[in-house]
Amino acid sequence: DAILNMRLRSLRKLEEMEIRTEDKNLRSELKGIKAILGSEAEQWSKVGEQVRKVRDIFGPKTPLGKRRTQFADAPEHDLAAIEEAFVEREPVTVVVSDKGWVRTLKGHVADLSGLAFKTDDKLDQAFFAETTSKLLLFATNGKFYSLDVAKLPGGRGHGEPIRMFIDMEQDAAIVSLFVNKGGRKFLIGSHEGQGFVVNEDDCVGNTRKGKQVLNVEMPNEAWAITTVTGDTVAVIGTNHKMVIFPIDQVPEMARGRGVRLQKYTSAALSDVATFDSKAGLTWKDSAGRDQAMSWKELSDWRGNRADAGRLAHGLPKSNKFGRGVE
C-alpha cells in the first residue's frame, strides 16, 4: 500500500505541476492581451508583426507564395468541335419548302402529309439527319454552303428562310441540300453543259459566304449534282436528248468550269446521273416509281463526252433522273 500510495502521490504531483504551468502561461497571455487592448501603439505593432509573418510564409519567393502559372500564348482550339460537343445527338427530319424555308422535326418522320406551309408554298424535300449533322447546300451560283443542323429552327411554325443562316446572293437558288457524310465524289454540271467531278471534302467551307467550286457567270448557272456511284455517266438535255459515256472522260477537280458534258444547239443541260454499266440506268418516273434500262437497252445512247446524244425515248418527259445526291 505504501508503494502504491507513493506512485499515486507522484502522479498527482506531476498533474499539479502541469496545471500550475498552464495557469502561469495563461496569466502571462492575459497580461499581454490587456496590454494590447490598452495601447493603440501595441495594437498596430501586433498587426505589423502578423503582416510580416504572413509575408514570410506567402511571399513571392516562398514555396507557397511563388507564382505557379506562367504567361504564354493561348493554345488554338477548334471552336466548332467544342460547340458540337455540347449538342446532344438526336435523330431529326430536315424539311425544306419550295420557297426555301427550312425547319427540323424531332425524330425520323416518314409521313409529312400533316405539315403546314405558308401561303403559295409547299414541300420541296425532306430527309433524315441528326442534331450533330452538317449539311451541304449547292446553289445555282456554283457555291457550296455549310450548315449546322443544331442551329436550324424547330418544327413549330413554318421555320425560317435558309438565307438567314448563309450569305447567299438574292439571284441564287438552291440546287440541292443534303447531309455532309465526307469521302464521296460528286458530278456537278452547269446549265450550259459543262461539269467535272469534285471530292465532297473539297466542297466544305467554313464561312457564311460559302465556297466557290463551279465557276459560272450569269446567265449560266450551276444546275445539277449527283453522287458518283458507278463507271458511267448519263446526261440529258432540255431537248430530251441523252448521251452516255465513261466517267473516266470527266476530270476530277477542286474548282473550275469543267469540261463539256453534252453538246447543245438551242437547248441546255437538264440533269446528270452516274451508274454501274453492269446494273444499268435507273430513274424515277412522274409517279415516283423506279424504272430501269439494262446496258444492252442503252446501246443507242452510248457515245463520248460532248456528243449531242439522241432522243431519250422511254425516259421521263421532265428530263430528270430523280437521283440527286445519294
> Which of these three, 12, 27, 58, is where a domain ends?
58
Q: What letter represents residue 69's amino acid?
A: T
Q: Please name the residue that has the C-alpha cell 446553289.
A: 139
Q: Is 122 within the bounds of a domain? A: no
Q: Which of 124, 213, 142, 131 is nearest to 179 (CA)?
A: 131
Do 42 and 48 touch, CB atoms closer than 8 A? no
Structural domain for 46, as ranges = 2-58
Q: Is 259 within the bounds of a domain? A: yes
Task: Write out pLDDT tens, residues 35-71.
Answer: 889 999 989 998 999 999 998 888 888 888 888 788 8
The pTM (predicted TM-score) of the whole model is 0.72
Number of domains in the chain: 2
Q: Is 42 within the bounds of a domain? A: yes
The pLDDT of residue 226 is above 70? yes
pLDDT-derived band at 273, boundaries 50, 70, 90: very high
Give backbone dihedrals phi and psi of 10, rounded to 5 degrees, phi first: -65, -40
Q: Is 191 within the bounds of a domain? A: yes
Q: Is 193 within the bounds of a domain? A: yes
Q: From residue 306, give the alpha-carbon distance in Å to each of 224, 230, 235.
A: 16, 19, 10
The CATH code of the domain that includes 271 is 2.120.10.90
| 248's grid cell | 473516266
Q: Is 278 within the bounds of a domain? A: yes
Q: Is 284 within the bounds of a domain? A: yes
Say how far apart CA 110 and CA 107 lie, in whole Å. Answer: 9
Q: What pLDDT is stored for residue 6 in this prediction?
A: 67
The pLDDT of residue 196 is above 90? yes
> Which of these three, 58, 73, 92, is where a domain ends?
58
Task: Write out pLDDT tens, residues 113-126.
Answer: 888 898 899 999 99
> Which of these three, 29, 58, 87, is where a domain ends?
58
Say how far apart CA 69 and CA 31 lie, in whole Å. Answer: 46
Q: Calculate the average pLDDT of the chain.
A: 90
Q: Is 97 within the bounds of a domain? A: no
